[in-house]
Amino acid sequence: MTEDERRSTLARNLDVVRGRIKAACAAHGRDPQEVTIVAISKTFPASDVRILADLGLRHMGENRHPEAGEKARQCADLDLTWHFVGQLQRNKAGAVARYADIVESVDRPALVTALSRAAQSADRRLGVCVQVDLDPPDPAAPGRSRGGAPVAAIGDLADQIAASPGLELLGVMAVAPLGQDPRGPFEALAAAHDTITAAYPQARMRSAGMSADFEAAIAAGATHLRLGSVLLGHREQLK
């Protein structure tokens, strides 16, 4: 595919997505301006990020280090906002804090401590979301791990983040459980988020919704949609 062909494919995909966002917002009495697209560029090249930026997107997301850092570096001239949305090991926090603007996937106290330390030593201020686990543990299916803190733990995590130098508590993030109607889980996220904004009114970010379920997320008050395949096409399966 030539650069021009790729550009028209992405432009067409983005038009369709914007139309669907507009329609979902209209159906739920929301203003499309309240909904930000975070383009999840994992497995796709930096050239695609450049096209999306040129088409007007400012927020990009990645779920893996070092791929995330590589792309952020290749696009450093574009002044984009980079979201890290994947599960993060504590020993990678230092590296991620140097290029990510927002880490959406914070789900445990040790990670907060590591990110705070890393942000301070990089002299950066890092936006942080508490990732909420919407998928209660199933004893019949151990090992499931999409990340996230249990709802019962998110208040303490929010307090810890809010009190951590170098970090700014922005809100919450969640991934809907696989193979279920996402509406119930997204409503559960909304309720969990309300308990956090009661204490931290600035923490309004609600990152929910992916390619398969973003309209349901809009219905449940999402402010950020993390969209990969609906914009960029099918990915090669990650190992």
Q: Which is nearer to ligand PLP, 52 or 175 (CB)?
A: 175
The answer to whether 52 and 41 are in contact (CB under 8 A) is: yes
Instruction: Please state the closest distance from residue 201 (CB atom) to ligand PLP, in A.
Output: 26
Rule CB under 6 A: choose which of 49, 53, 85, 103 binds ligand PLP: 85
- CA atoms lying within 13 Å on the CB side of residue 87: 8
87 binds ligand PLP (CB under 6 A): no
Number of residues in contact with ligand PLP under rule CB under 6 A: 14
63 binds ligand PLP (CB under 6 A): yes
- Footprint on residues 158-217 left by ligand PLP (CB under 6 A): 175, 210-212
CA distance 21 to 119: 34
- Tell me, what amino acid is at 63? N
40 binds ligand PLP (CB under 6 A): yes
- Footprint on residues 106-165 left by ligand PLP (CB under 6 A): none
Helix H or strand E segment including 196: helix 183-199
CA distance 75 to 85: 18
**Contacting residues for 109 by C-beta, under 8 A, at least 6 apart:** 156, 157, 160
86 binds ligand PLP (CB under 6 A): yes
**Cα four-point dihedral sign 14, 101, 146, 33:** negative
64 binds ligand PLP (CB under 6 A): no
Radius of gyration of the chain (CA): 17
Rule CB under 6 A: choose which of 6, 22, 42, 50 binds ligand PLP: 42
Helix, strand, or coil (residue 154): helix
Q: Which is nearer to ligand PLP, 166 or 182 (CB)?
A: 182
Q: Outline where DSSP puts E strands in the chain.
A: 36-40, 59-62, 81-84, 102-106, 126-131, 167-173, 205-207, 224-227
Q: Which is nearer to ligand PLP, 192 or 208 (CB)?
A: 208
Instruction: Please state the closest distance from residue 91 (CB atom) to ligand PLP, in A.
Output: 20
Contact segment (CB under 6 A) with ligand PLP among 8-16, 69-77, 114-122, 221-229 equals 221-229
Instruction: Please state the closest distance from residue 146 (CB atom) to ligand PLP, in A.
Output: 8
Helix H or strand E segment including 96: helix 93-99
Q: Which is nearer to ligand PLP, 68 or 167 (CB)?
A: 68
Q: What residue ranges bind ligand PLP (CB under 6 A)?
A: 40, 42, 63, 85-86, 175, 210-212, 226-230
